[in-house]
Structure formats: structure tokens, C-alpha cells
Amino acid sequence: MIHQGVLGAIAASVQVAAPAPGGGTTILELLFNGANGSTVFTDTSSYNRTVTGFGAAQISTLQSVSGGSSLKLNGDPDYLQFAWNYPLIGDFSIEVGLYVTGYSPGDAPGTSEIFSIVSDTPAVDLLLEVEQSLGNQVRFSLRDGNAGTVYFDFYSNTGLTLSTWTRVRFEVVGLVATIYFNGLANGTAPVTGNGRIQSLTIGRVGRLFAQGITARGYTGFIDNLTVTDLE
């Protein structure tokens, strides 16, 4: 069943992805395994996207959720980028391990970007970020600037603890969006509107590029980033 007003990203070509553990289809899997200092970032989903690192983005063995390593980012201009090529138009989830150590200056100081999928216009964006001024609460937002539509835009009820691993899950099921911390619901919002976004093309980890905002760099470590189609 396809739910209107959730998320659309229509690609020129569609591949068949592998089933995800526990149900669903894995469409992005960045485990960030590798040697300390490596700048090779592998998408282990069947899409095998080419992931390009910028700045000093690198694999680090200083911290990890599992596998002995994670992605280390020191704020803007450290980030990863890849092409987005999957028609995600129904229920979906994004799971990631976060270890935020601080915030970097930029054109949105105190805001730390986790992950975003945007259009190359740019005017459409799905974004996940951490807000220092709100006690490290996590934001989950989906909007279409072209149409002036906000499908949902809300924060977790409580904030992350800095320099501590937190497993965060962002989920859209039906017309409800939910944020989970370590398996427990920590904020929810209705998905509004009846349109679909058709132009998401670029994925980024650790930096936003939307509506003239190009920084919001992430400072800390990120591990086991997985996007799953739950349909």
C-alpha cells in the first residue's frame, strides 16, 4: 500500500534491493567498517552506491557501535555525498548510531546535520539533525519548498547525551512519523498533505545542501546508517 504525502523519490532506473533483516528492503547500508584513516566508504546494500568523502571525513577506530570502526566528522566541510536512486514512496525507516561530540560554526551554528536527501534545485529536503539550543534534541523533517508544503517537521521529546552512543530510528508508517532512541519512542507527529515529492536526487551524511544552506556540519562519529523500505 502506498501512502500519499510521505515521500517520493523517482529515479531514472530502479534496482531490486535485498531484503532487510527483520523485514523490509535495505536500500542504503553504510556500516563504516575499515582501517583507521581510510577514506573508502562502502554502501553494502545491493545498490552499491559510489560514496564520495569531502574534507577530512574518514573511518576511525576510536569509536564504534559494532565492527570496530565508524565515520568520523569534524564539522563543516567534512561530509559524504552520493546519488539517490530509489522510488521511496511508502513506509520507510532510517536507523543510525550517533556519537555527537560538539557543534561547529557555520551558517547555522549549533545545528549538526546527520543525514539528508535533497533535490539538486535545491528546494526539497528530507533532513535529520541535532539542535544544540534545544538541548541536543533531534529533528526529523520532510518538506517540499517548491510547493510550499511541510509534510512533517518535529523534534524528539528529549535530547541526546553528548559523547555517548545513541541508536536513533526515524520511521514513517502510514501517516505517522516517529523518532526512537535506543528502541523507545521519543517523539511523534502526523504526516500531513496529500502530495508526493518527485525530485530527491542527492544523499548527504554530515552536511546539508538545501535552500541556500550549505553547512550545518556534524561533529563526532556516525555508525551503521541504514535506510529501509518497509513496504
Spell out the domain ranges in the chain. 25-229
Rounded alpha-carbon distances, angstroms, from residue 114 to 15, 182, 193: 26, 17, 25
Among the listed ranges 51-55, 58-62, 89-93, 210-214, which one has the minimum average pLDDT value?
210-214
Closest by CA to 127, choosing from 209, 41, 29, 52, is 209
Q: Is the pLDDT of residue 13 over 80?
A: no
Residue 121: band (very low, low, confident or very high) from pLDDT cuts 50, 70, 90: low
174-199 burial, b if ≥16 CB within 10 A, otherwise e?
ebebbbbbeeeebbbbebebeebbeb
* The pLDDT value given to residue 227: 94
**Contact in structure between 166 and 184 (CB atoms under 8 Å):** no
* The pLDDT value given to residue 10: 27
Q: Is the pLDDT of residue 34 over 60?
A: yes
Name which residue leads in pLDDT, 213 or 216: 216
Residue 12: band (very low, low, confident or very high) from pLDDT cuts 50, 70, 90: very low
pLDDT tens-digit readout, 159-191: 999 999 999 999 999 889 999 999 999 999 999
* The pLDDT value given to residue 193: 65
Residue 94: band (very low, low, confident or very high) from pLDDT cuts 50, 70, 90: very high
Tell me what the pLDDT averaged over the chain comes to: 83
Grid coordinates standing for 189?
507527529
Residue 147: band (very low, low, confident or very high) from pLDDT cuts 50, 70, 90: confident
Class of the CATH-defined domain 25-229:
mainly beta
- Radius of gyration for the alpha carbons in the chain, expressed in angstroms and rounded: 16
Helix (H) or strand (E) holding 99, with range, is strand 92-103
Q: Residues 103, 108, 112, 118: what is their CA dihedral angle, to the nearest 10 degrees?
A: -160
* CA dihedral for 91, 96, 100, 103, sign (positive or negative): negative
Strongest mean pLDDT among 57-61, 197-201, 213-217: 57-61
Residue 199: band (very low, low, confident or very high) from pLDDT cuts 50, 70, 90: low
